[in-house]
Amino acid sequence: MNKVRYEITLPLTLNDGSPQPPGLIEWTADEIVAAVGGCSVDGESVGFWKFDGVVYKDRNRRVLIDTDDSMSTSDFISQLKAVLKLRFQQHEIYIVRYPIEVV
């Protein structure tokens, strides 16, 4: 079966710059592991983006999911995105998907 990688960027702060409640990334990782079997969480990075004329600076962590390319995983990720927007109180949660070859 073909493999894909999903990369989910999760903010460590709210849009006003205050910290996210503790444990949200771990909670999210636990959900991903239960649904698809595993994930990795990268170290902190900084991102800048603009929404409705306001420039935001985010401290982020990236969650990496390498998994089989299946409709059930795609459906899970789509549903997870909506949950994460609420959980992390964000206008958008950035998720990318691309094929990978594991060697």
- Overall domain count for the chain: 1
pLDDT of residue 66: 97
Would you place residue 8 in the very low, low, confident or very high pLDDT band (cuts 50, 70, 90)?
A: very high
Specify the CATH number for the domain of residue 35. 3.30.70.120
The rounded distance, in Å, linking the Cα atoms of 20 and 39 is 21
Q: Tens of pLDDT along 46-63?
A: 988 888 898 877 889 999
Structural domain range at position 56: 3-100
Q: By the 8 A CB rule, do 63 and 7 touch?
A: yes
pLDDT of residue 70: 93
